[in-house]
Amino acid sequence: MNSYTSDAEPPVAYHPGSAEYDEHCAGFQLRERHQPAHVVVARSAGDVVAAVQHAAKSRMPIAVQATGHGLANPLRGEGVLVSTRRMDSVDVDPGAGTAWVGAGARWRDVIEAAAPYDLAPLSGSLPGVGAVSYTLGGGIGLMARRYGFAADHVTRLEVVTADGSLLTVSERDEPDLFWALRGGGGSFGIVTALEMALMPVARLVGGGLMFDLGQTPEVVSAWLRWTATVPSHMTSAMTTLEISHRHFAHVQIAYLGSAQEAEELVAPLRALKPVHDGLQEVPYRRSDTVFSEPDQPHAYVGDNVLLPAIDEERLRDAIAVSAPGRSVPSIVSVRHLGGALSTAPRVPNAVSHREAKYLLCVVGVVAPTSTSDAASARAVQDELLAGWSGTAVGSSPNFTFGRADQRSAAEPFDAASRGRLLQLAHRYDPAGLLRPSFVIAGNG
């Protein structure tokens, strides 16, 4: 254990060779890991301020990590990694229906804190994901069509900018940053905590219908037709995946309403006779059963496009990349958007492309140490998504996994928003010290 040499209050820093350094550099994404010169394990906003001030004084690059699910731009042998893992407190104000969420809190922490008050956050498919970074990237969750992007429901943030200033950011204070941080990602500072509205949701009808991959053509066709008819209380996705060497098409459903209504709505999909039917009414704290995603760290690369419509035949062709026997196993997932996601929030924010109706995402699961695996998976994704570039309206920052080249198949922001985000990134980090995983094109 060492500390910085400085006249200001030095935060404790860990260096290569220590157990703490290894623990805090490790994360969910195993393809790469941060290898900074210093790791600061922050326990408070004051620790983050001190770490950033020390790094800024020496003009060292600064990165931040909560869980490592979104790692894409690791520090290599230089700079300071601020680990927020210990800043995982969640304070719920049941009267106001809000939660003050620490930078290191995972969705499961927020879900657990909100549940006793019959409230729920706008969390996503995997409760192990960090709530703050997910929200900074927009956040498309299980109740997205009913309530919109997670970023639309942020009311206040506390952020440490690249010069070490601690700012309160809200509609009134620092309105430019309030716009940028809600959807524009981590290019403007380290958010130490944020306040989000919770939804009056205690239960949902959620789970998956699993079909044999051979049924995919009819499942694709039925699911797409079905999405054109369902109310905004229904949010769903369709994913092709492999479990124990068997391939399935998995329809993931989250419905905010009664079991009886869900039964009637889902009848056309059940008529295709799923091999497994896991749909049931559950408390929101069991919302992980909607996607049933594996919670073990692994290595992956992925990208996405946002689409105004999906041609059924082309989607069937796209899904063929996840068929058994391919040299690079890929997971293809389509999320149904629209509903409240199409409506801009009262206070505008940086989330772009609200007109999209579907998100098409391809993820390749690769061997942790193999760069050739990752390159092959990338090649498959680039080719597949390039085929959609003519119709894509953009991409989602949150579904760009491990892109070391920082390029997505489509632009995450509309031109005006991108220009404004770049200006603000230069204003709040003029020396380009921050090293976010999601980089706005043209910044650095």
Ligand X SMILES: Cc1cc2nc3c(=O)[nH]c(=O)nc-3n(C[C@H](O)[C@H](O)[C@H](O)COP(=O)(O)OP(=O)(O)OC[C@H]3O[C@@H](n4cnc5c(N)ncnc54)[C@H](O)[C@@H]3O)c2cc1C
State the residues that interact with ligand X by CB under 6 A. Answer: 27, 64-71, 84, 103, 124-126, 129-130, 132-134, 136-137, 139-141, 186, 190-191, 293, 398, 436-437
Q: How far is 1 from 39, CA to CA, in rounded Å?
A: 10
Q: How far is 261 from 279, CA to CA, in rounded Å?
A: 13
Q: How far is 33 from 73, CA to CA, in rounded Å?
A: 9
CA angle 428, 160, 11 (to 5 degrees): 130
Burial bucket for residue 393 (CB in 10 Å: 0-12, 13-18, 19+) = middle
Q: Which is nearer to ligand X, 170 or 215 (CB)?
A: 170
Q: Which is nearer to ligand X, 148 or 222 (CB)?
A: 148
Q: How far is 137 from 130, CA to CA, in rounded Å?
A: 11
Q: How far is 365 from 326, CA to CA, in rounded Å?
A: 12
| Minimum CB distance to ligand X, residue 1 (Å) | 23
Q: How far is 376 from 390, CA to CA, in rounded Å?
A: 23
| Minimum CB distance to ligand X, residue 443 (Å) | 12
| Minimum CB distance to ligand X, residue 84 (Å) | 5
| Minimum CB distance to ligand X, residue 106 (Å) | 7
Q: How far is 262 from 245, CA to CA, in rounded Å?
A: 31
- Which three-class secondary structure state does DSSP give residue 86? coil
| Minimum CB distance to ligand X, residue 376 (Å) | 20
Instruction: Tell me the CA distances in angstroms from 431 to 50, 132, 443, one per residue in order.
Output: 18, 24, 11
Q: Which is nearer to ligand X, 222 or 411 (CB)?
A: 411
Question: Which of 241, 386, 222, 237 shows the shortest CA–CA distance to 304?
Answer: 386
Q: Which is nearer to ligand X, 222 or 339 (CB)?
A: 339
Q: Which is nearer to ligand X, 133 or 232 (CB)?
A: 133
| Minimum CB distance to ligand X, residue 417 (Å) | 18
Distance between alpha carbon 219 and the CA centroid of its chain, in Å? 27
Which are the contacts of 238, defined by CB distance < 8 A and separation ≥ 6?
219, 220, 223, 249, 250, 251, 252, 333, 334
Question: If you write DSSP's letter for every residue of 367-390 in order, what string do you get?
Answer: -TT-HHHHHHHHHHHHHHHHTTTT
| Minimum CB distance to ligand X, residue 425 (Å) | 12
- Rounded to 5 degrees, what are φ and ψ at 6? -165, 160
Residues of 95-131 as b/e, b for ≥16 C-beta within 10 angstroms?
eeebbbbbbbbbbbbbbebbbebebbbbbbbbbbbbb
Q: Which is nearer to ligand X, 32 or 222 (CB)?
A: 32
Q: Which is nearer to ligand X, 85 or 233 (CB)?
A: 85
Q: How far is 121 from 289, CA to CA, in rounded Å?
A: 16
| Minimum CB distance to ligand X, residue 134 (Å) | 3
| Minimum CB distance to ligand X, residue 418 (Å) | 18
Instruction: Tell me the CA distances in angstroms from 45 to 15, 422, 444, one per residue in order.
Output: 21, 25, 26
Q: Which is nearer to ligand X, 274 or 402 (CB)?
A: 402
Q: Which is nearer to ligand X, 71 or 279 (CB)?
A: 71
Q: Which is nearer to ligand X, 27 or 339 (CB)?
A: 27
Q: Confirm if 60 and 80 have CB atoms less than 8 A apart.
A: yes
| Minimum CB distance to ligand X, residue 313 (Å) | 27
Q: Which is nearer to ligand X, 73 or 417 (CB)?
A: 73
| Minimum CB distance to ligand X, residue 280 (Å) | 20
Q: In what order do the strands lie in the sheet with 154-160?
A: 90-93, 98-102, 190-197, 154-160, 166-170
The distance in angstroms from the start CA to the end CA of the chain is 32
